[in-house]
Amino acid sequence: MTPSMDLGRLRADFPILERRIRGRPLVYLDSAATSQKPQAVIDALVDCYRNYNANVHRGVYSISEEATEKYEGARDKVQGLIGAAKRESIVFVRSTTEAINLVAYSWGRQNIGPGDEILLTEMEHHSNLVPWQILAAEKGAVLRHLSVSEEGTLDLDEARRLITERTKLVGVAHMSNVLGTINPVKELGRLAHQAGAVMLVDGAQSVPHLPVDVRDLDCDFLAASGHKMLGPTGIGFLYGKTELLESMPPFMGGGDMISQVWLDHASYNDLPWKFEAGTPNFADAIGLGVAVDYLQAIGMDVIREHEKQLTAYALGTLGELPDVQVHGPRDIDIRGGAVSFCLGDVHPHDLAQVLDQEGVCIRAGHHCCHPLMRKLGVSATARASFYLYNTENEVDVLVSSLDKARAMFGQFGPAGN
């Protein structure tokens, strides 16, 4: 049996949850966009800037060595979280977006040519679409896309048809930020490797919410963002198999990514520093390491179980509201806590503004997924997304606020009529 967590004690670790909005308790349901931060992460940032703020790798004095030790220690923590075999396979970047662009720029420009195919899906975030569109246009490559079913899932049979000897890369979101779908990336990776292709996993939504083991998935690349997993903004990481990273040219040139520099040429540093040009964002990396400590202390399996229960409760209660259409799978075993929905013909932006009056924070818009919105036949959706600090009571507040919104817009009768 999966152990449970003390939710009341856990929520006390997040100072922002004590806020009141217009006299009402803050109900934060937008963790798919960015998560809140525990006091331990906030304290780690303050401690860094107050007590050992110094550039890493370059100083031989005490506080520089302390900063370097903690910065590289954060890399070890990320390695442990995702089960990577080697610490040098973890490259610090600003975000999932930068990580995917790094792969497209460095690996893609070296390995993709005219007529080669890149297979993505209809549910990808723009961060895993646009870099490949740019690359395909530059190299004369072809983009293919796995379709999304009415249930919000991918079809492995279609994948078997589309992955051929022409396929060079398969890039898939592990968990959809709109549908909550947990995609079968391990199976897709196996198909990719059978065809000689490389597998990239967008882990922005999965790494914060469920156990992820890159060796079990056997993915070639995995990208994630720190701010979605209790860490600071402006820090993320790329995991890559070391043999691939070794073969790739640098993403940017500058200090620290070099070994020796002459006036007309240079040699490059070892992994992972070859891809970390300039002064790194060491303070936020250290904060990310503390966030990883926090997640590990709870247990990713415990977090996943809590979110499954909360999402099941939310799907059930939202399903009782008239005129609410929820998108994504109903099978809780293959979905995460991002729940997108529409309320009649009320625009999601209007709905979000009304809910804000109740202290409820939800997302409204296209969620950086224009093609998926077109597939769903909508211009935008409202989205409530849950994390380890959310409660069933907050779901109840969401539902009651939606009922108030229905009455305010005057298009529907009260719930139950």
Q: What are 51-77's pLDDT values in tens digits?
A: 999 999 988 999 999 999 999 999 999
Give CA–CA dist 152/181, Å, rounded: 7
Name the region of 149 (left: φ>0; alpha: ψ -120 to 50; beta: rest).
beta
The CATH number of the structural domain formed by 42-296 is: 3.40.640.10
Domain boundaries, the chain: 7-30+300-409, 42-296
- Residue 342 designated active-site: no
CA distances from 390 to 28, 36, 334, 367 (A): 8, 11, 20, 21
Which CATH number describes the domain made up of 7-30+300-409? 3.90.1150.10
Question: Tens of pLDDT along 211-266?
Answer: 999 999 999 999 999 999 999 999 999 999 999 999 999 999 999 999 999 999 99
Is the Cβ–Cβ distance between 252 and 278 less than 8 Å?
yes
- Measured distance CA(365)–CA(373) in Å, rounded: 9
pLDDT in tens, 306-331: 999 999 999 999 988 888 999 999 99
Q: Is 150 left (phi over 0), alpha (psi -120 to 50) or beta?
A: alpha
Q: How does pLDDT run across 269-284, given as a tens digit for each residue? A: 999 999 999 999 999 9
347-357 average pLDDT score: 95
Q: What is the pLDDT of residues 203-218, one digit of tens each?
A: 999 999 999 999 999 9
**Closest by Cα among 117, 178, 190, 189 to 153:** 178
CB 16 within 8 A of CB 26: yes
Among 197, 174, 169, 168, which Cα is nearest to 186's?
Answer: 174
CB atoms within 10 A of CB 50: 8
Residue 249 backbone phi and psi in degrees, to 5: -75, 160
